[in-house]
Amino acid sequence: MARKRSVPITQRDTPTANSLAGRKKLGKSHKSTQSTISLFHTLLKRKAQAQKALSNACSSSQASALQAQLGAVETEIEEQGGLDTYQRASTLGQSSERGGDSSVVLIEWLKEMNEAMTREDGAGSRSIRMLEIGALSPNNLAAKQPYITNTPIDLNSQHPDILAQDFLQRPLPKDDSERFDIVSCSLVLNFVPEPRDRGQMLKLIHQQLHHSERSFLFLVLPTACTENSRYMTSEHLETILGVVGFAQVRRRARPGGKVIYTLWKWQKPNANPQAVQSSSRRAELRSGTKRNNFVVLLK
């Protein structure tokens, strides 16, 4: 019997797009918030797939069919309220599921590591420079700390103090004055549809940071990304991040928790050929039919 095609992580437990078509208002219940988030993940993934197929189209008839497909997905995203609705759902999901924003964990860890303070450099004392990718609010706990200067960015900014920017297109720092001490990437990597773009996001984060072991990546991922993926385990994520140039210093995974919090310190990239090779290939690390396909690939 043919093996049933597994459903990508971003589409799990997802009602079909049609079953939710026409619903624009956000319900307040947890279930309704989750359905909205799942639906947008499905639609954004379909949009990325259509865009990719369109860029590889080999005939004009194929291109026009794909263009129509892409247009239909874009219309559906708009009909569902666009990215604004998705982000409002994420904000509600954030408060109901995690009892607040992720940066609460980051601040706790900075305190534990005696890093919750201003830094001294040649010019004297300066605040910690943080870049927050995928910011829903400019007022999270990290942004409120007097020793942190936060730069929040988002693809679809919901607030005048959040810079509307695709991190993948953000210019690289010209010198240390433009480099950050912390990059926060909470529930964003899993939002990026293409595995190689996820790898690129991690590499660009490395390049945005000061070249110092006191520079950190705060990475939050849905538990299923590393604990139930066919192609990704926590150990494999450590290998990939080692190749990018990070070593894990903190990890919090609560039993039954929906997300895993991790903190990584900047280091020189691991050039071990075996690690480099395994980070650029998709290999089955867990068997079973009920797995998702989440993976990060380095180029």
Binding site for ligand SAM (CB under 6 A): 87, 90, 94, 102, 133-134, 136, 153-156, 166-168, 186-188, 191-192, 220
Judged by beta carbon, residue 41 or residue 236, the one nearer ligand SAM is 41
Name, in order, each residue with C-beta under 8 angstroms of 70's C-beta and a sequence gap of 6 or more. Answer: 47, 50, 51, 54
Tokens 């759902």 sit at which residue?
89
Task: Write the CA distances from 135 to 23, 109, 156, 233, 293, integer angstroms.
Answer: 25, 20, 9, 26, 26
Residue 221, H or E segment: strand 216-222
Name, in order, each residue with C-beta under 8 angstroms of 114's C-beta and a sequence gap of 6 or more. Answer: none
Q: What is the dihedral of CA 91, 230, 201, 181, to 10 degrees?
A: 70
Q: Can you name the residues that pair with 266 across neighbouring β-strands?
A: 246
Tokens 């090779």 sit at which residue?
277
Name, in order, each residue with C-beta under 8 angstroms of 181's C-beta and a sequence gap of 6 or more. Answer: 119, 128, 129, 130, 209, 210, 214, 215, 216
Q: Can you name the residues that pair with 246 across neighbouring β-strands?
A: 266
* Most distant CA pair in the chain, distance: 69
Judged by beta carbon, residue 57 or residue 153, the one nearer ligand SAM is 153
Position 23, amino acid: R
R_g over Cα of the chain: 20
* Closest chain position to ligand SAM (CB): 134
296, 237 in Cβ contact below 8 A? yes
Rounded Cα distance between 133 and 189, Å, is 10
Name, in order, each residue with C-beta under 8 angstroms of 228's C-beta and a sequence gap of 6 or more. Answer: 286, 290, 291, 292
